[in-house]
Amino acid sequence: MFLTCIDVIMTKFPFVKYNKAIVCDVCHFAKQKRLSFPISTFISKKCFELIHVDVWETYSIPSIHGHKYFLTIVDDYLRYTWIFLLKQKSEVVKTLENFVVFVQT
Q: What distance in Å separates the CA atoms of residue 23 and residue 5, rounded to the nearest whole number?
A: 11
pLDDT at 21 over 60: no
Q: Is the entire prediction scored with pTM above 0.85? A: no
Q: Give the β-pairing of 81-86 and 51-57.
A: unpaired
pLDDT tens readout for residues 54-105:
998 876 788 888 899 999 999 999 999 999 999 999 999 999 999 999 998 8
Beta strand residue intervals within 1-105, DSSP E: 51-57, 69-75, 81-86
The SS3 of residue 10 is: helix
Residue type, 99: F
- The per-residue pLDDT for range 23-45, each reduced to its tens digit, is 555 555 555 555 666 777 888 89
